[in-house]
DNA sequence: AATCATGACAACCGCCGAGAC
DNA sequence: GGTCTCGGCGGTTGTCATGAT
């Protein structure tokens, strides 16, 4: 069978921690060290859930925490890592000594998001807002893009289904840390230069009024087989490079 | 001075993977 | 092999501080 429950919720405090509770937790961990959060509250004389104790210690009481405002350098690191890792706050925190995932997450939501938006950058895609397509589902995203007439061509609309294959899940190593090699292999997005050239794998359906054409091919590789196929109904392009 | 809106951030909730049983 | 908890994570909510009206 499994283990017993971590705590009796009916007999635990919730909400803000008091100074006395903080001191009890600090004193206990100083003597006994971290670990076994389940039994810690009782041993330390705290009426708290083990999870709550862990969170309080990790995020606010640890002696190695760096409190105070984020520096510009830290800002840049967070933005850069977020462009690569997405909302993997623990991984981002792992590369910012003294900062916690919760702290970075809050900072992102209250400061950096707004900062990027004010610069016309989509905080989710890290691309200029005019080029961004809102992504609600990381795997399949139905959306519609209208393309204005160019060079006398007939105006048409694109019904686009995006399937992102290179998700952030395979970015981190299994140890839970991200190495410089990881960063190199998975590509960086930089602001202000062209080194962030990135390719997205897409299923692209083009609709021409009530009819549509199709072109299909493998999802990976060079797409050469797709290039050799004629357009037919409906249009399917399997690899599209955005820059 | 009172009220409301907004920002900042601490804390909770629910989910998931790994491991214990 | 199935069930269950633990530890950890990301998303969300609650609460307090501050500024605007």
* pLDDT band at A193; cut points 50, 70, 90: very low
Name the CATH code of domain A9-61 (choices 1.10.10.10, 2.40.50.140, 1.10.10.60, 3.10.310.30).
Answer: 1.10.10.60
Q: Nearest-5° angle of CA A23, CA A24, CA A30?
A: 85
Q: What is the mean pLDDT of residues A97-120?
A: 85
pLDDT per position as a tens digit, A144-180: 333 333 333 323 233 333 333 333 333 333 333 444 4
* CA→C1' distance for A4 and C3 (Å): 12
Q: Residue A190 is encoded by which pair of tokens?
A: 């930089």
Neighbours of A178 (CB within 10 A): 20
For residue A213, pLDDT over 70 is answered with: no
- Dihedral (Cα; A14, A17, A18, A19), 10-degree rounding: 160
* pLDDT band at A75; cut points 50, 70, 90: confident
The rounded distance, in Å, linking the Cα atoms of A195 and A148 is 29
* CA→C1' distance for A15 and C17 (Å): 18
Closest nucleotide to A105, Cα to C1': C10
The rounded distance, in Å, linking the Cα atoms of A25 and A30 is 8
Nucleotides on chain C that have an atom closer than 7 A to a protein CB are 2-12, 15-16
Fold of A66-128+168-192: Arc Repressor Mutant, subunit A (1.10.10)
* Residue at minimum CA to C1' distance from nucleotide C2: A1
* CA→C1' distance for A121 and C17 (Å): 29
| Residue found under tokens 């969170």 | A55
Q: By mean pLDDT, which of A2-11, A44-53, A172-181 is the weakest?
A: A172-181
Nucleotides on chain B that have an atom closer than 7 A to a protein CB are 7-14, 19-21
- Across all residues in chain A, what is the average pLDDT? 60
Q: By mean pLDDT, which of A68-77, A97-106, A186-195, A227-236 is the weakest?
A: A227-236
The rounded distance, in Å, linking the Cα atoms of A182 and A178 is 6
Closest nucleotide to A15, Cα to C1': B11
pLDDT per position as a tens digit, A170-192: 333 333 344 444 444 443 333 33
For residue A232, pLDDT over 60 is answered with: no
* Residue at minimum CA to C1' distance from nucleotide C13: A15
* CA→C1' distance for A109 and C18 (Å): 19
Domains A9-61 and A66-128+168-192 share a fold: yes
* CA→C1' distance for A43 and B20 (Å): 22
Q: Where do the domains of chain A lie?
A: 9-61, 66-128+168-192, 133-165+197-242
């Amino acid at each position: 069978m499994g283990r017993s429950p971590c705590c009796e919720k009916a007999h635990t405090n919730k909400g803000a921690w008091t100074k006395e509770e903080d001191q009890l937790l600090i004193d206990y961990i100083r003597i006994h060290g971290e670990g076994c959060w389940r039994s810690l509250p009782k041993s330390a004389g705290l009426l708290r859930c083990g999870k709550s104790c862990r969170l309080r210690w990790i995020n606010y009481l640890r002696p190695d925490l760096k409190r105070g405002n984020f520096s510009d350098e830290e800002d840049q690191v967070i933005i850069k890592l977020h462009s690569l890792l997405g909302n993997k706050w623990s991984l981002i925190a792992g590369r910012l000594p003294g900062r916690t995932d919760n702290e970075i997450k809050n900072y992102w939501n209250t400061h950096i998001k707004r900062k990027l938006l004010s610069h016309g950058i989509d905080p989710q895609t890290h691309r200029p807002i005019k080029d961004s397509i809102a992504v609600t589902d990381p795997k399949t995203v139905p959306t519609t893009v209208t393309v204005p007439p160019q060079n006398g061509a007939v105006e048409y609309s694109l019904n686009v289904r995006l399937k992102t294959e290179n998700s952030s899940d395979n970015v981190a190593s299994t140890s839970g840390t991200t190495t410089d090699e990881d960063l190199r292999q998975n590509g960086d997005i930089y602001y202000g230069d062209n080194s962030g050239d990135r390719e997205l794998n897409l299923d692209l359906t083009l609709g021409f009024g009530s009819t549509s054409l199709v072109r299909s091919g493998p999802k990976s590789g060079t797409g050469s087989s797709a290039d050799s196929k004629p357009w037919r109904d409906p249009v399917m392009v399997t690899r599209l490079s955005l820059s």
